[in-house]
């Protein structure tokens, strides 16, 4: 075996042992656990070369070595094939996701499942809704001075808003018909009061229609906003020792969903891993993110966030598997 091949094996052994034990790894432990057909002195030389290359470092004097971000990157890049899930694991994922009653439920289930499979924080991006348009509007008087606006989108989502407005049943039906005629098939930015359907309305009714279309525009704009489902945040507390400083910056980054959405948008590969300082946000400088596309190509992602000391192979196979099953279920 060439020295560069052996050094890669030594790096892989260090990553695997450190992930498993959280303890710095020494040359004797590598020789004993991984069956190298060389002496401990040779392994020490290999470790010195890996340290010089910035792939491992010694946290304190007389200690073993731990991987750096560059070391984890080299390890992840060396994973040529991802071990598939067992048949039992596949059936469990399929059964759990197929039990969902609607899209919200299936995304929540996917997040919980991913958090459980990886023991990390799971993040699931809602399918891109920016192209969705209005399908139908209803106005229902609920008191002398209030009415319920019900908006149904072409995705099947139903949104309700209470309006402070006085409507008789007859007037509600008439205005709803005009609003439907003027707005059905339009997305949020396209909904305006500027329509021939609203020409020649009496001033009072025109003010009512103006209030209704303004709320409807807000409803459809909210529908277009990107949203995330998160699960397993408590898993970070159990890995607090893996952060040199504190988990607070990671928690703050998770709360700022725009940070995660931006990270998702910056990743182009179907299955991607970003490690430590590869993450653009400073709060995630001690974290790793494993993501995969699902649904229509390039539209949505799901993934996990955790410390750089994570089981990358398990994370990658779990993220990819849940993404594939989610794609299948949403497409059926």
Q: What is the mean pLDDT of residues 312-325?
A: 94
282-314: pLDDT as tens digits: 889 999 999 999 987 656 899 999 999 999 999
302 pairs with which residues across the strands? Answer: 124, 292
What is the distance of C-alpha 12 from the center of its chain? 28
Cα–Cα distance, 73 to 103 (Å, whole number): 35
Q: Quick one: residue 176, left, alpha or beta (phi over 0 = left, psi -120 to 50 = alpha)?
A: alpha
Rounded to 10 degrees, what is the CA torsion of 316, 322, 324, 329? -170
C-beta neighbour count of 242 within 10 angstroms = 17
Is the pLDDT at 319 greater than 70? The verdict is yes
Number of H helices, E strands in the chain: 12, 10
163 pairs with which residues across the strands? Answer: 147
294 pairs with which residues across the strands? Answer: 300
Domains in the chain and their CATH numbers? 3-77 (1.10.10.10), 87-128+226-331 (3.30.450.40), 134-224 (3.30.390)
172-202: pLDDT as tens digits: 999 999 999 998 988 777 888 777 888 888 8
Cα–Cα distance, 307 to 240 (Å, whole number): 9
Percent of the chain with pLDDT over 70: 94
Is the pLDDT at 236 greater than 90? The verdict is no
Helix (H) or strand (E) holding 34: helix 27-34
Whole-number Cα distances in Å, 184 to 155, 162, 200, 216: 13, 20, 21, 11
SS3 137: strand
Is the pLDDT at 129 greater than 60? The verdict is no
Mean pLDDT, the chain, rounded, equals: 87
What is the distance of C-alpha 133 from the center of its chain? 24
Angle between helical axes of 69-77 and 312-331 (0-180°, round to 10): 60
C-beta neighbour count of 28 within 10 angstroms = 12
More confident residue, 35 or 306: 306
pLDDT at 224: 55
Q: Is the model's pTM score more than 0.75? A: no
Closest CA to 9 of 34, 38, 26: 34
- Token pair in block for residue 80: 């040529």
């Amino acid at each position: 075996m060439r020295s560069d091949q052996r050094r890669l094996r030594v790096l892989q052994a260090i990553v695997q042992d450190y992930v498993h034990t959280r303890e710095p790894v020494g040359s004797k432990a590598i020789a004993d656990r991984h069956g190298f057909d060389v002496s401990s002195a040779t392994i020490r030389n290999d470790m010195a070369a890996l340290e010089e290359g910035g792939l491992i470092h010694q946290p304190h004097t007389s200690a073993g070595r731990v991987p750096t971000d560059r070391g984890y990157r080299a390890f992840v890049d060396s994973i040529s094939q991802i071990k598939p899930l067992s048949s039992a694991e596949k059936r469990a994922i399929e059964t759990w996701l197929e039990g969902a009653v609607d899209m919200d439920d299936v995304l929540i289930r996917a997040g919980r499942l991913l958090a459980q499979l990886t023991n990390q924080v799971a993040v699931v991006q809602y399918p891109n809704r920016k192209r969705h348009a209005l399908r139908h509007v209803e106005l229902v008087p609920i008191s002398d001075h209030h009415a319920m606006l019900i908006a149904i989108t072409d995705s099947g989502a139903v949104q309700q808003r209470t309006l402070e407005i006085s409507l008789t049943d007859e007037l509600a039906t008439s205005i709803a018909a005009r609003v439907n005629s003027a707005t059905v098939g339009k997305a949020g930015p396209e909904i305006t009061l500027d329509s021939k359907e609203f020409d020649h309305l009496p001033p009072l009714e025109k003010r009512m229609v103006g209030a209704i279309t303004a709320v409807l525009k807000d409803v459809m704009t909210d529908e277009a906003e990107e949203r995330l489902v998160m699960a397993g945040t408590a898993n970070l507390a159990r890995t607090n020792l893996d952060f040199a400083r504190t988990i607070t910056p990671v928690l703050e980054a998770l709360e700022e969903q725009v940070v995660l959405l931006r990270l998702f948008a910056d990743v182009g590969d179907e299955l991607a891993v970003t490690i430590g300082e590869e993450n653009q946000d400073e709060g995630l400088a001690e974290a790793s993110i494993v993501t995969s596309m699902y649904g229509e190509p390039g539209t949505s992602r799901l993934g996990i966030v955790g410390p750089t000391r994570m089981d990358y192979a398990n994370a990658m196979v779990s993220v990819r598997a849940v993404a594939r099953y989610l794609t299948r279920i949403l497409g059926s």
